[in-house]
A and B are shown apart, each in its own frame.
Chain A
Amino acid sequence: SYELTQPPSVSVSPGQTASLTCSGDKLGDKYASWYQQKPGQSPVLVVYQDTKRPSGIPERFSGSNSGNTATLTISGTQAMDEADYYCQAWDTSSSVVFGGGTKLTVL
């Protein structure tokens, strides 16, 4: 079965750029979505179809996907961005896979 691998944790200083990666075999041939989840809350979509941002999501969130790696970039990271982030892709047309998640710490 298809697997997506994310680093368990990433730390960033306020105002700096955070790069969260998601790796999978030929992931660039698929489309990746990213979800933000804060403690006790439901996931929230922040990037879809590799690079698109839903309405209401700040411009500091951006995405890319090439080769074996999709990346969520948060520019000018703010304290409110501290959360768990999950990448997601379709393994087949009928199977969904999530990465293990990355805990982003802003300190």
Chain B
Amino acid sequence: QVQLMESGGGVVQPGRSLRLSCTASGFIFSSYVIHWVRQAPGKGLEWVGFMSYDGSKKYYADSVKGRFTISRDNSKNTVYVQMNSLRPEDTAVYFCARETVEAIPYFDYWGQGILVTVSS
């Protein structure tokens, strides 16, 4: 069955870096786009960004542009988000979500989420 699992979260000081991983199983990973979505404590969902299935294009929310970098390793069925210059407002549960392969895509599977806390 389709599974997405995030890892790499934790507590980090402001200004420092952290890399999250999303490891997939149960489907042909290289054919799918994986997005990152985050949710601050008690708040709603916020789209973070994604990389195209072949890695040729990357798109980010304005709130993380220039600080976050998404990459993928199709040989490891894994998508990463490198988060630099972290701010307290980046504190959130980070989800990875699979985008369907359709003309009008949506998110059909989500990971369980991983907590990132930015605090001194």
| B-binding residues in A (CB < 8 A) | 1, 31, 33, 35, 37, 42-45, 48-49, 54, 84, 86, 88, 90, 94-101
- For A35, the chain B residues whose CB sits under 8 A away are 45, 107
Binds A, one of B19-27, B69-77, B78-86, B109-117: B109-117
Q: Is the CB of B62 within 8 A of A33?
A: no
Interface size counted on chain B using CB atoms at 8 A? 24
Chain B residues numbered 96-120 whose CB sits less than 8 Å from any CB in chain A? 97, 100, 102, 104-108, 110-113
Contact of B45 among A31, A45, A54, A101 (CB under 8 A): A101
* CA A49 to CA B37, docked complex, whole Å: 19
Closest to B110 in A: A42
For chain A, what secondary structure do more than half of its interface residues adopt (helix, strand, loop), or is it mixed? Answer: strand
Contact of B107 among A49, A88, A99, A101 (CB under 8 A): A88
- For A90, the chain B residues whose CB sits under 8 A away are 104-105
Contact of B95 among A42, A48, A95, A99 (CB under 8 A): A42
Closest to A42 in B: B110
Closest to B6 in A: A42
- For B61, the chain A residues whose CB sits under 8 A away are 95
A-facing mask of B35-46, CB < 8 A → 1, else 0? 101000000111
Closest to A47 in B: B106
Q: Is the CB of B57 within 8 A of A99?
A: no
Q: Is the CB of A45 within 8 A of B112?
A: no
With A49-B104, A94-B57 as contacts: A42 and B47 at CB distance below 8 Å = no
Nearest CB of chain B from residue A91's CB, rounded to whole Å: 9
Nearest CB of chain A from residue B18's CB, rounded to whole Å: 20
